[in-house]
Structure 1
Amino acid sequence: LSPFKSSLISNSIIFALFFTGYILAQLPAGILSDYLSAKSLIVLSLVGITITSVVSAYYVSLMIEYITSFFMGFSSGWIYPITIKILSNTFSGKDLPLAMSIYSLAWPTSIVASGIIITFLALRFSWGTPFYFIAILSITLAILSAFFLPSIKVHSQRIEIKTLISNKSIIFIAIGGFLFFLS
């Protein structure tokens, strides 16, 4: 289906570039969401996904796909820390774990849905159609977020990196998350 005849290696590079961008966004997203409006950051993130999706669909080139994959991952990487910030400031007590568990269904559900929806759109219409579909969904969600998300700013205390990397709970959670994506 891909017009630039991607290979297993190029597909692996695209995947790796996406998650490299995703990883690099995590720390600045977490820090900035403490000081800037979470709503503004999530809207910008969704606009980034919109732009990179349109560029991926419109410019049919493996090099462009590499570049947009990195920036799509970077744009997507802002969503998780910001969402955690919004959830932890919106819910408390027994409601917080429930809200977190509902949110954590988004990842596996999106993977299942993409296998069905993206494949259908690409086979039925064209290779670029799924990218346009994602762009439409992203810009729609960005607009809705701009109007309906609360503008949350939280000035949290400064956390020492040494404290984080020596905390056993964080280490085990991080290893579990690593194994989740590795599998």
Structure 2
Amino acid sequence: MQNSSAFQYLALDTIHESTTNPRRTFDEGKLLELAESIKHHGLIQPVTVRPNSEGFELIAGARRYRAAQLAELFSIPARIVEVDDTQALEWQLVENAQRADIHPYEEAQGFQRLLDLPGYDVATLVEKSGKSASHIYARLSLLQLIAEVAEAFTQERITASHANLIARLPQESQAEAFEQCWRKD
């Protein structure tokens, strides 16, 4: 049920970001670099949107969309598709999983949102994302982190290695382990 129509230019103010996009963090410096590139070369890769009652919901291209706003563009090229909520979430996860700069915790949240839908299991995620089952399970284990540790991880105050080790612990032991990350001995 995909519409593979040609790209169209859409006014930025008719596009809004999706609430289901797994990507929640954006490096401001990299956005500014991308905005500068867009000013000089234009937006090379169109965003993907779907129509809804508010205009167009962004399915893929949140960084490009934000950078285009910073570059003060009026419109950007967009591919308009007709997909349901499940397909939109799947596309968002796959799009972000293929990019190196998505945070592991955000990727885990995206995997979990799909697993919460009927008909999805890890084997389906492997098939649809191109990631290995061990990668998916490793990401999902991060969701066992208590809120304090998860926040520190998403803010990059602790490394992925620390987060993975702490996630293996029972939740009642994680706060103490988190405090011990900073010990020198």
The alignment's TM-score, normalised by the length of structure 1, stands at: 0.21
Give the number of the structure whose alpha-carbon radius of gyration is greater.
2
Which structure features the higher share of helix residues? 1
The alignment's TM-score, normalised by the length of structure 2, stands at: 0.21
- Which has the higher relative contact order, 1 or 2, with Cα contacts under 8 A spaced 6 or more apart? 1
Which structure features the higher share of strand residues? 2
